[in-house]
C-alpha cells in the first residue's frame, strides 16, 4: 500500500485553501465619496455636459467594484442665461465611462425608476472587475441636465463575472409618509438569493419638483433600520445611502425621516453578488469616506450624520468660505480649528473610534453658519494618526506670495490671477481662459506616508482639476478643462454662474498621499478672473498599522491574533519543506498571502479537532490505565492471598499434626 507522506498533506491543504478562497466573501466598503449635487452647465449652443468623479488610485485593487448612485432630472431645465432648451429624449439618460474606456452598466432600465414629482430618474450604475488603475469616472449627457446628484464608491469581496452579478433590485417612488413612526418610508420587496450579497439602499427626497432639487421641508431625526449601516447623508439635496445585510430571503428596504410636513420620497435598492474580487488596500493613510453638504447663504445650523467607517481615527472638516463659527459632534469632542481671514477654515479631531454599527449610525456633526455666505462643507473620515508636526512651508516658486506655516502641520498660501508674467509668474494667462495656478500652497512633509488634505476658496470661481502633484485627487466633481482654452461645459464664461455650482461652490477640495518626506507643490486649473485664490493644506501623519495580508472579511485591522495564527502555519511549512522543493515553497507562501485568514481559520479548525482527538486519546489512555491498574491491583491481591496460603501450609508442615 502506498504511504501517505507530508507532501500529500501539503498539497491537500493548498488545494483546500484555493477552493475555499473561491467561495463567497463578505463585500466591504473600500471608499465612499458623497457629493452635494446640482451643477451649472454650458450655454444651450454648446450642448451637453460632463462631470469627472475621482477615486484615490492608491487604494484601488484589481477585481473590485465601482458603484455610482444618484438621481437626475427627467427633463431639461431652463438655462440661467435665458432660452428654452430642446425636449429631452430617452429620459435625459446619462452615460458613465471610466478612464479605461469601460461604460458603466445601469441596474434599472432607464425610465423604470422615475418619480412624478420632480420628475426625476433614480438609479445605480456599476463598473465590475476593474483594474487597479481605474480611478476616474466621467458622467456625460447628450443634452444639458443641471439637476442631478451622484455619489461614487469602491467595494471589495464581490463577484468578478457578469452573469448573475445583480442578484436583485427594486424601486418605489412617490412614497409620502403619513407619520414619523419608524419605518415611514417602505420600498418594494425583493428576493435575495445569495448569502453575503452587497445590498445598497438609497433614499431621495423628491421635494416639490423642478427647478428645485432637494427637500421642500427640513429633515429631522433619522432612524436607520436594523442590519443596515449608513454610508452617506446629505440634507441640502436630501438623500441617504446605506448598506444592509439581510441574508437570503425576502428583503424590503425601509427608512425613516422625521418631518413636520412630509415630502414624497423615492427608495431604491440593489443586491450585488459577493465573491473574491478585490483585496484589502495597503495600510497607508487614506480617505475612507468623504461627503459634502452646502450650507445656505441665509445661514443655518446643520446637524449631519457623518458615518465614518470602522478604521477611522481622524476626522477633517473643511469650510470653503470660512464663515462657520463653531463645530461640535455627538461625542462631545473638541475640534482643533485653523483659520485666517479670507481663507477656508479647517477643523480636525484625532483619536476617534468607530467600532460598532450603532456607533457609525449615531455619529453626527453640527456646524453653525451665520447668514452671509453659502458654505461648502466637506467631511473627511481618515485612518491617519495625527498631524505631521514637522511640516514646514516650501520655497516661493515665483508667485505673488510665499507659502506660510499657519499652524502645526498646516500651510497656507494665496495667489492672484494675472494677465502677465510680471504680475504673477506662476498664475497668469488670458482673461477668462483656464490657467494653471501653482504654489497653492507648497509644503514640506517630515514623515513618510502622510495624507495631505487641500482646500481652496476662489474669489470668483470656478476652480477645475488639481494638476499637481502627480497622483493628487480632486475631490470636487468637475468638467474636464484645458489650460489655455475657454471654460467648457460649465456655465457662462462671462457671467460666472459656475461659481455657484452646488458640487463645488466655485471652490475646490483635494487630497494626496505623500509616500516619502519631501516638498509638495499644489497646482489648480482655474478660470482667470483676476481673483484671489486662497488655500490651506494639512498633512496628516500616516496610519501606524503594518501592512499585512488581508483577512477574510476585508476589514483594515490587523491584530496580534493574525501573527499568532501564522506560527503553526510556518511550523507546518517547516516540516513540509523537508519533503518539498522550492516551487512548493513559492506556492505555499503565495497561498498564505492570498488566503491569510482562511488558512488561520482552517488551522484553528484543525487545531480544535486535534485537541478534541487528544482529549479522546487521553480519555482512552486513562480508561486503559484505570483498567490496567485495577487488573494489577486485583492480581496483587490474588498473589497476596496465594502467598498467605503458602505460608500457612509451611507453618503447618513444620509444627506437624495438632494434638487435641
Q: Assess whether pLDDT exceeds 50 at residue 208.
A: yes
Question: What does DSSP assign to residue 515?
Answer: -
263 touches 227 (CB < 8 A): no
Cα(443)–Cα(403) distance, integer angstroms? 7
More confident residue, 367 or 374: 367
Cα(506)–Cα(169) distance, integer angstroms? 36
**Least confident among 145-154, 251-260, 423-432, 502-511:** 502-511
Average pLDDT over residues 586-597: 49
63 pLDDT band, cuts 50/70/90, is very high
Question: What pLDDT does 606 receive?
Answer: 56
Average pLDDT over residues 343-359: 93
11 touches 597 (CB < 8 A): no
β 148-156/28-33 pair status: antiparallel
Question: What pLDDT does 271 receive?
Answer: 98
302 touches 468 (CB < 8 A): no
Cα(563)–Cα(546) distance, integer angstroms? 11
7 touches 575 (CB < 8 A): no
6 pLDDT band, cuts 50/70/90, is very low
Cα(509)–Cα(329) distance, integer angstroms? 22
507 class by beta-carbon count within 10 Å (0-12 exposed, 13-18 middle, 19+ buried): buried
Q: Other CB atoms closer than 10 Å to residue 386's CB: what's the count?
A: 16
More confident residue, 35 or 379: 379
Question: What pLDDT does 594 receive?
Answer: 47
Q: Other CB atoms closer than 10 Å to residue 571's CB: what's the count?
A: 11
Containing 319, the helix (H) or strand (E) segment is strand 314-319
- The DSSP secondary structure of 566-612, one letter per residue, reads HHHHHHHHHHHHTTS-HHHHHHHHHHHHHTHHHHHHHHHHHHHHHHH
Which residue has cell 501623519?
Answer: 541
609 pLDDT band, cuts 50/70/90, is low
Cell of 542: 500616516
- Residues sharing a CB contact under 8 Å with residue 565, sequence separation 6 or more, in sequence order: 597, 599, 600, 603, 604
Cell of 151: 455619489
Question: What pLDDT does 574 receive?
Answer: 44
Cα(510)–Cα(51) distance, integer angstroms? 16
The sign of the dihedral angle between the CA atoms of 53, 243, 60, 65 is: negative
Cα(348)–Cα(338) distance, integer angstroms? 9
What is the number of alpha carbons within 13 Å of residue 130 lying toward its C-beta?
32
Question: What pLDDT does 193 receive?
Answer: 95
pLDDT digits 0-9 by tens, 276-321: 999 887 778 899 999 998 888 788 899 999 999 998 999 999 998 8
From residue 478, how far is each of 375, 466, 484 by CA, in Å? 18, 10, 17
Cα–Cα nearest to 588, from 132, 4, 6: 6
pLDDT digits 0-9 by tens, 171-203: 999 999 999 999 999 999 999 999 899 999 999
Cα 359-362-367 angle, rounded to 5 deg: 120
pLDDT digits 0-9 by tens, 447-491: 999 999 999 988 887 888 899 999 899 988 888 888 998 887 776
Cell of 364: 453626527
Cα(276)–Cα(28) distance, integer angstroms? 11
635 pLDDT band, cuts 50/70/90, is low
Containing 475, the helix (H) or strand (E) segment is none
Cα(634)–Cα(640) distance, integer angstroms? 10
How far does Cα 246 stand from its chain's mean position? 20
- Residue 10: helix, strand or coil by DSSP? helix
Q: Assess whether pLDDT exceeds 90 at residue 647.
A: no
What is the number of alpha carbons within 13 Å of residue 599 lying toward its C-beta?
29
147 pLDDT band, cuts 50/70/90, is confident
Q: Other CB atoms closer than 10 Å to residue 163's CB: what's the count?
A: 6
Cell of 525: 486649473
412 pLDDT band, cuts 50/70/90, is very high
Q: Assess whether pLDDT exceeds 90 at residue 166.
A: yes
447 touches 408 (CB < 8 A): no
Kindly report the average pLDDT of the chain as a whole number. 79
CA dihedral 493, 497, 498, 504 (to 10 degrees): 160
Question: What pLDDT does 30 receive?
Answer: 81
Amino acid at each position: 500500500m502506498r504511504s501517505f507522506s507530508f507532501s500529500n498533506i501539503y498539497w491537500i491543504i493548498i488545494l483546500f485553501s484555493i477552493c475555499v478562497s473561491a467561495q463567497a466573501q463578505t463585500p466591504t466598503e473600500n471608499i465612499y465619496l458623497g457629493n452635494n449635487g446640482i451643477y451649472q452647465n454650458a450655454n444651450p449652443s454648446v450642448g451637453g455636459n460632463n462631470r469627472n468623479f475621482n477615486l484615490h488610485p492608491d487604494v484601488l485593487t484589481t477585481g473590485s467594484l465601482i458603484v455610482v448612485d444618484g438621481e437626475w432630472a427627467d427633463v431639461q431645465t431652463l438655462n440661467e442665461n435665458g432660452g428654452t432648451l430642446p425636449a429631452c429624449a430617452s429620459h435625459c439618460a446619462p452615460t458613465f465611462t471610466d478612464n479605461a474606456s469601460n461604460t458603466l452598466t445601469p441596474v434599472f432600465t432607464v425610465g423604470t425608476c422615475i418619480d412624478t414629482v420632480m420628475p426625476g430618474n433614480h438609479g445605480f450604475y456599476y463598473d465590475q472587475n476593474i483594474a487597479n488603475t481605474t480611478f476616474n469616472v466621467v458622467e456625460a449627457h447628450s443634452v444639458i441636465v443641471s439637476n442631478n446628484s451622484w455619489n461614487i464608491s469602491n467595494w471589495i469581496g464581490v463577484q468578478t463575472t457578469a452573469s448573475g452579478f445583480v442578484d436583485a433590485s427594486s424601486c418605489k417612488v412617490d412614497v409620502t409618509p403619513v407619520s414619523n413612526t419608524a419605518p415611514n418610508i417602505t420600498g418594494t420587496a425583493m428576493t435575495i438569493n445569495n448569502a453575503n450579497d452587497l445590498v445598497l439602499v438609497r433614499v431621495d427626497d423628491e421635494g416639490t419638483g423642478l427647478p428645485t432639487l432637494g427637500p421642500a421641508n427640513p429633515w429631522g431625526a433619522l432612524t436607520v433600520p436594523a442590519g443596515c449601516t449608513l454610508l452617506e447623508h446629505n440634507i441640502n439635496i436630501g438623500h441617504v445611502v446605506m448598506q444592509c445585510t439581510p441574508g437570503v430571503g425576502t428583503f424590503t428596504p425601509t427608512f425613516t425621516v422625521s418631518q413636520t410636513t412630509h415630502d414624497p420620497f423615492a427608495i431604491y435598492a440593489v443586491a450585488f453578488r459577493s465573491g473574491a474580487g478585490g483585496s484589502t488596500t495597503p495600510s497607508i493613510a487614506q480617505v475612507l469616506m468623504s461627503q459634502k453638504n452646502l450650507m445656505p447663504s441665509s445661514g443655518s445650523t446643520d446637524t449631519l450624520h457623518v458615518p465614518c467607517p470602522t478604521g477611522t481615527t481622524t476626522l477633517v472638516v473643511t469650510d470653503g468660505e470660512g464663515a462657520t463659527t463653531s463645530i461640535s459632534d455627538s461625542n462631545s469632542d473638541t475640534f482643533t480649528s485653523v483659520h485666517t481671514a479670507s481663507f477656508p477654515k479647517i477643523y480636525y479631531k484625532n483619536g476617534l473610534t468607530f467600532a460598532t454599527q450603532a456607533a457609525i449610525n449615531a455619529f453626527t456633526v453640527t456646524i453653525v453658519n451665520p447668514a452671509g455666505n453659502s458654505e461648502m462643507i466637506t467631511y473627511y473620515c481618515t485612518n491617519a494618526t495625527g498631524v505631521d508636526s514637522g511640516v514646514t512651508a516650501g520655497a516661493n516658486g515665483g508667485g505673488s506670495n510665499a507659502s506660510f506655516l499657519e499652524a502645526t502641520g498646516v500651510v497656507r498660501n494665496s495667489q492672484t490671477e494675472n494677465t502677465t508674467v510680471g504680475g504673477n509668474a506662476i498664475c497668469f494667462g488670458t482673461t477668462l481662459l483656464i490657467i494653471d495656478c501653482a504654489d497653492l500652497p507648497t509644503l514640506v512633509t517630515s514623515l513618510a506616508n502622510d495624507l495631505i488634505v487641500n482646500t481652496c476658496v476662489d474669489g470668483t470661481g470656478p476652480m477645475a482639476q488639481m494638476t499637481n502633484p502627480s497622483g493628487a485627487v480632486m475631490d470636487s466633481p468637475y468638467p474636464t478643462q484645458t489650460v489655455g482654452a475657454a471654460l467648457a461645459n460649465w456655465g457662462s464664461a462671462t457671467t460666472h454662474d459656475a461659481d455657484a455650482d452646488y458640487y463645488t461652490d466655485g471652490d475646490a477640495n483635494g487630497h494626496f498621499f505623500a509616500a516619502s518626506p519631501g516638498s509638495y507643490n499644489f497646482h489648480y486649473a482655474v478660470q482667470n478672473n483676476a481673483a484671489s485664490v486662497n488655500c490651506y493644506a494639512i498633512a496628516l501623519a500616516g496610519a501606524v498599522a503594518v501592512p499585512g495580508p488581508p483577512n477574510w472579511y476585508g476589514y483594515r485591522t490587523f491584530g496580534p491574533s493574525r501573527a499568532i495564527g501564522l506560527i503553526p502555519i510556518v511550523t507546518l511549512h517547516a516540516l513540509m519543506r523537508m519533503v518539498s522543493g522550492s516551487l512548493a515553497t513559492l506556492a505555499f507562501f503565495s497561498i498564505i498571502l492570498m488566503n491569510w485568514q482562511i488558512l488561520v481559520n482552517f488551522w484553528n479548525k484543525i487545531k480544535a479537532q486535534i485537541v478534541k482527538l487528544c482529549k479522546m486519546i487521553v480519555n482512552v489512555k486513562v480508561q486503559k490505565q484505570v483498567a490496567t491498574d485495577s487488573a494489577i491491583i486485583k492480581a496483587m491481591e490474588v498473589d497476596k492471598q496465594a502467598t498467605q496460603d503458602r505460608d500457612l501450609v509451611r507453618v503447618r508442615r513444620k509444627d506437624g499434626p495438632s494434638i487435641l
